Structure 1
Amino acid sequence: MVVRQTVMVCVLAVLAYLGLWWAFSEADEPAPAAPESLFLTDYSKAAKGSCVKFTGPGENDLGLTVIDCKGERAALKIGTVLTETSAQCPRGEYKVLRDTRHNAALCLLPNAERGDCFELDTEDLQRSVVSKFDCAAPRVNVQVVGIVRESCPEEAELGVPYEDMTLCLRRVR
């Protein structure tokens, strides 16, 4: 009986040693790459130029995730990060999300390039659900015809101003 207990203690000690060795030998491995998306819980830590999507059931500030701007779901981009919830966005038709817990706000604009198509309410971007689609999608109502500093080209039916640029759009349907 004593021999059996001694053998069991030795086996458990060896297993414990191997487990510890394995756990600490992994520390020399390079850290895994950052995830493609990051759930944003503190707007004050957001970066201008990052793209975001809503991950909740609707557009609300409880389900905002930072994503790759090249992704097909990247319809919104952070134009400005405000350091107070009461602050105003710079010149422009931004969608504003306020984070009262961290006293910060985000000024969001469409993540657009020439030729991109969106479904958005051009009369009220603040209340609009901004969605980027393939231009053949039935929900598309505007297409980007230019992104300029000054005035839009003739083919644009409307210009949506922002701090550093004007988004030039034409109605699709």
Structure 2
Amino acid sequence: MAKRVAARHSVFAAILRSVVVRQTVMVCALAVVAYLAVWWVFSDEEEPSPTTQAFLTDYSKVEKGSCVRFTGPGENDQGVTVIDCQGGKAALKVGTVLTETSGECPRGDYKVLRDTRHNAALCLLPNAARGDCFELDTEDLQRSVVSKFDCSAPRVNVQVVDVAGESCPETAEFGVPYEEMTLCLRRVR
């Protein structure tokens, strides 16, 4: 009788271990799936993939027409990340690359980043298309942190009415001239 109980106990213990192992594996698999789901939901879908980004500390290597990202208004000599201009976070585009830090940007209200280590500077303008919305200081673009948002965002203060060759349509409240275009804007708030 003792052997029978021991055998039953041994079989029951094996079944119990099997169930515990399966449950542990199932819980681990579900945890991995949940982690990946949360990561996917909270990842920034509008950011370009890492293969399309390049961090550059030498501003002279940035090409005209590239879009760049950095943090805050005091970014000189710290480098920029070149990003895909189609991404929703691409708020600034390189209008001109100057070969001297003392150089002047062409006609326009550019945000200027100077790289004294490599004697270069970037003349940046908003990466704008008709209908885009921005938070920017229209009185002082140089000191402004230029950010592109969905038009319903509370921080938005201007919307692009048109990107014109020279003069803006009547629907624009004001125009910001640049070398090759005029950015036609209206105040949102």
CA gap 1:63/1:108 in 2 versus in 1, 3 angstroms: same
- What amino acid is the match of 2:99? T
CA gap 1:139/1:34 in 2 versus in 1, 3 angstroms: closer
Deviation >3 Å, runs of 4+: none
Equivalent residues of 2:59, 2:79 under 8 A apart = no
What is the CA–CA distance in structure 1 between the aligned matches of 2:129 and 2:106, rounded to whole Å? 21
Cα deviation for residue 34 of structure 1 reads 7.7
Per-residue CA distance 1:132-154 (angstroms, 9 max, x = gap) = 00000000000000011121000
What is the CA–CA distance in structure 1 between the aligned matches of 2:90 and 2:50, rounded to whole Å? 18
Equivalent residues of 2:112, 2:142 under 8 A apart = yes
- 1:112 equivalent to 2:128? Answer yes
What is the CA–CA distance in structure 2 between the aligned matches of 1:155 and 1:83, rounded to whole Å? 38
TM-score by length of 1: 0.78
For 1:118-157, list aligned pairs within 5 A.
Answer: 118-157=134-173
For 1:30-109, list aligned pairs within 5 A.
Answer: 35-54=51-70, 56=71, 58-59=72-73, 60-61=75-76, 62-109=78-125
TM-score by length of 2: 0.71
Cα deviation for residue 88 of structure 1 reads 0.1
Cα deviation for residue 169 of structure 1 reads 0.1
What is the CA–CA distance in structure 2 between the aligned matches of 1:94 and 1:121, rounded to whole Å? 12
Instruction: Single out whichever of 60-69 and 38-47 deviates more from structure 2.
Output: 60-69
The alignment partner of 1:44 has SS state of helix
CA RMSD of aligned residues (A): 1.3
What is the CA–CA distance in structure 1 between the aligned matches of 2:174 and 2:52, rounded to whole Å? 34
Per-residue CA distance 1:41-98 (angstroms, 9 max, x = gap) = 11111100000011x4x24131410000001110000000000000000000000000
Cα deviation for residue 168 of structure 1 reads 0.1
Q: Name 1:163's counterpart in structure 2.
A: 179
- Stretches of structure 1 that go unaligned for 5 or more consecutive residues are 1-32
The alignment partner of 1:48 has SS state of coil
Q: Name 1:11's counterpart in structure 2.
A: none
Per-residue CA distance 1:11-61 (angstroms, 9 max, x = gap) = xxxxxxxxxxxxxxxxxxxxxx9822100111111100000011x4x2413
- Stretches of structure 2 that go unaligned for 5 or more consecutive residues are 1-48
The alignment partner of 2:60 has SS state of helix
